[in-house]
Structure 1
Amino acid sequence: MIAVAIAAAVSVALPGFLVGGLSVQIRGEFGVAEGRYGWAMSTYFLAATTGSILLGRLAQIIGPRRQLTIALIGAAGVDICIALFAKEFSTLIAFLAVAGMCNAAAQTAVNLGLAQAGLPRLGLAIAVKQSGMPAASMLSGLAVPALALTLGWRWAFVGAAAVALTALSGVQRTIARSAGLAADTKHQPQSPLSALIIAGVAAMFLSFGAGALNAWVVESGVDSGLGKGTAGIMLSVGAALGIAIRVGWGMRLDHMRGHPFVTAGLMACGGALGVLGLALRLPATHVIATVVAFSGGWIWPVFLNFGVVRANEGRAASATGITQTGVYLGVFAAPLTAGAIIERSGYTSMWMVTAAAMAIGGVLMARVSRRF
């Protein structure tokens, strides 16, 4: 079940991350500037934002197995369509919007499936599942030398389709059929709506920080004096740390005392200190600060989802549909907003704003911790 969860999470996240990792090749083919190209990844997350709540409720009605099946077939189909039919940049944007909806559908369904499975180590399961995003980031980086520079960037999306179909096969074998819940008030979350909204707002600020890190840490490193290769390696190191620390905390999560949201807030504030270090614009400091920023700034989703799923075991999809809306909104806004700040005021100002956003998110997490 856990392996299927991470495979599903990776496969639906890959289209958005591939667009970032293959930006040089895709921009070169379509002839678009960086500013316009930023809308490619942002459109993916904007679509996920608009669909998250409704698709979370739909998963409660039709069950996680059926919704995952639809989402993974859709993701594989979109990947193939991008590879074969995306001849214009506008067509690529349209396909990415569909991919974003598939992501929202799959993420909420996976959360519900994990909650319904009665796993003895729910925290570890969620931590492994939440490693899907950094894993997708790592795979998108590996796709450049392995596929984009040898066979062409479109073959990377063919590979993504293969991952989605593999995950689909696992879903059919592993997740039991479920009739879901009746389409009435039973699909509403068990946690108070106000608490879920505050958690979603906190997630928005925190995902803004995570999105800015993912989008700009490489170019920021080059600007600070690092070589292009070193700066790129630091992104991969950051993603690898994100996976290792998420799984490490997941192994402890089920036995932890205290509220998971408090730990999330503390980790986020530690990540904010690392982001402040990026504002110093020194090569050596940038390397150390990148490690600290990723170590704290990419770990909070484990605690967020564990707290929400544990408090809403029977309604995990609808509850995480609300909080995931904040996540997607923050990731949507981060590349565009941070890029605008860089153009106006430089990297120092951008990283200071990003650190402030992460600190605000951490405080909000701690404030609502007793509800989860």
Structure 2
Amino acid sequence: MTEAGAGRRLIGVLSVANFAIGMGAFVLIGMLVPVGDSFGISPGRTGWLMTTYALSYAVLSPLLVSATGRIGRRRILTIAMAIFALAHVASAVAPTEFTLHLTRIIAAAGAGMFTPVSASVAARLSTPQTQGKTLAWVVFGLTLAQVLGVPAGSFIAYTFGWRAAMLIVAVLALAMLPLLWRIVPRGLNFQPVSLRELGAILRNGPMMLAVTFTATFLAAVYVVYTYFAPLMENGMGYGRDGITALLLMFGVGAVLGNLMGGWMADRIGPTRTLTILCIAQIALLPLFSLLPLPGIVLALLVAVWSATGWSFLAGQQMRIIALRIQAAPVLLALNAAAIYIGAALGSAVGSGAIALGGLMALGVTGGLLGLLALGHITLSRRISG
């Protein structure tokens, strides 16, 4: 096999592996109601399972990536996926709400090692001219999980129970182990970033301002996305089939947006791309406070909202790698952590919005956070360039 063919094969395997990661991370979105019913808790309280995962990822990811920097990338990717798989087996048999929170922490540790390391491998093996496209393909699996994983998990949870959905995630992750061990090159080592260097990056104001834009932007998205299923039940009267169909539309938009984002970032630059995407979220999110809407209008809204929400990944990764290429693995880990900080923040703010104004307050709240994200990227551009 040619070097180019081997590279494409590696990117494909990493993308499929990230599909399993993405399904495990986001599958709760489509089954908040079944999980809540199982433990006798409200959707708002069930949403804290997303917050637990997100905060655990945010704390553990940069620490684990730094601590394992001297270990070969093939070994780290395989270990991380094994941890993720076993955590989902444990989730499937969790007897209590507290136990399920613990298993989500373990799953976050595995994902927190896998995704940033896979992105750093892709960035190192790509050319500057194709870096945006390559990164977009690696995280394509995360967005494809929105197309297939989340709606499939929702359908399975409503039909066979949420524990069956967790087991399917575990099976997918276990199936990736031999592929990762065979396809990822042996001896692929990067210059490790020590915990002291991690501390230096954390104290670098302009650098952290750039990285944390991810959290601000995704907080706006997750205000609505975390509570999407109960919002559709309450605002549209949808059940299993309607929610699954809309999650499928969200997934299609996410895939298209991921590819569009890489294309945009390569052509107009990452910062312009991110600014445009903020403006789109400000315009689209408040529309979810106008439910009920005609079915076709709602489906188009969900698809466009998703496309503009998931177009940011490649451009943001390009932007932060350019800040300090030598520290790319840890910067990508911090960026991945910021993804889950955004998810946690959005979930928490959404829970507060529901408590104060009901489910219909979610859209307006998300739009206000989108305005905050626009201010964030504008300030970061002025400081960091």
Bin of the TM-score, shorter chain as denominator length: 0.7 to 0.9
Contact in 2 for aligned 1:268/1:359 (Cα 8 Å): yes
Counting only pairs closer than 5 Å after superposition, residues 129-148 of structure 1 correspond to structure 2 as 129-137=138-146, 138-146=148-156
Q: Which residue is equivalent to 2:3?
A: none
SS at match of 2:69: helix
Greater mean alpha carbon deviation, residues 273-282 or residues 140-149: 140-149
Equivalent in the alignment of 1:316:
328
Q: Which residue of 1 aligns with 2:182?
A: 173
| Range that drifts further, 119-128 or 107-116 | 119-128
Q: Report the CA distance between 1:187 and its aligned residue.
A: 5.6
Q: CA deviation at 1:50?
A: 1.1
Moved more, 105-114 or 280-289: 280-289
Hey, what's the Cα distance between the residues in 2 that align with 1:8 and 1:41? 21
From 210, 232, 235, the equivalent of 2:247 is 235
Aligned to 1:304: 316
State the shift of 1:282 in Å.
Answer: 4.4
Could you say what the CA RMSD is over the residues aligned between the two structures, in angstroms? 2.9
Which secondary structure does the structure 2 equivalent of 1:62 belong to? Answer: coil
- Of the structure 1 ranges 126-135 and 93-102, higher mean CA displacement relative to structure 2 is found in 126-135
Match of 1:111 among 108, 119, 135: 119
TM-aligned CA distance change 1:145 to 1:290, over 3 Å: closer
Q: Return the letter of the residue paired with 1:102.
A: G
2:32 corresponds to which of 8, 11, 23: 23
- Give the alignment of 1:256-275 within 5 angstroms: 256-257=267-268, 259-275=269-285
Q: Structure 1 residue 337: deviation in Å? A: 1.8
* Structure 2 residue aligned with 1:199: 210
> Any unmatched runs of 5+ in structure 1?
none
Change (3 A) 1:26 1:342: closer
State the Cα deviation string for residues 230-269 of structure 1 (Å, max 9, x = none): 4542232122111112113324544x14x30221121121
SS of equivalent residue, structure 1 residue 47? helix
Match of 1:86 in 2: 94
Contact preservation (8 Å) 2:58, 2:337: yes
Structure 2 equivalent of residue 101 of structure 1: 109
Distance 1:347 1:96 in 2: 26
**2:225 aligned partner:** 214
> In 2, are the aligned partners of 1:62 and 1:181 still within 8 Å (CA)?
no
Opposite residue 292 of structure 1, the aligned amino acid is V
1:242, 1:216 → 2: CA distance?
17
Aligned length: 368
Q: Percent identity?
A: 17
- Specify which of 244, 250, 258 is matched with residue 256 of structure 2: 244
For residues 60-71 of structure 1, the aligned pairs below 5 Å read: 60-71=69-80
Q: 1:10 to 1:291 in 2, by over 3 A?
A: closer
Return 309-318 or 322-331, whichever deviates more. Answer: 309-318
Contact 2:288–2:362 (CA<8 Å) still a contact in 1?
A: no
Kept in 1, the 8 Å contact 2:50–2:343? The answer is no
Among 283, 288, 312, which residue is 1:278 paired with? 288
2:261 touches 2:312 (CA, 8 Å); kept in 1?
no
SS in 1 for 2:47: helix
Per-residue displacement from partner, 1:111-143 (whole Å, max 9, x unpaired)?
211122235632122112223333223313213
Cα shift readout 1:304-324 (whole Å, capped 9, x = no counterpart): 112223544432211122233
SS of 1:107 mapped into structure 2: helix
- What residue identity is the alignment partner of 1:15? G
Per-residue deviation, residues 146-176 of structure 1 (Å, max 9, x unmatched)? 57624x4333223212221233223222222
Question: Where in structure 2 are there 5+ consecutive unaligned residues?
Answer: 1-9
- With 338-347 and 18-27 compared, the bigger mean Cα shift is at 18-27
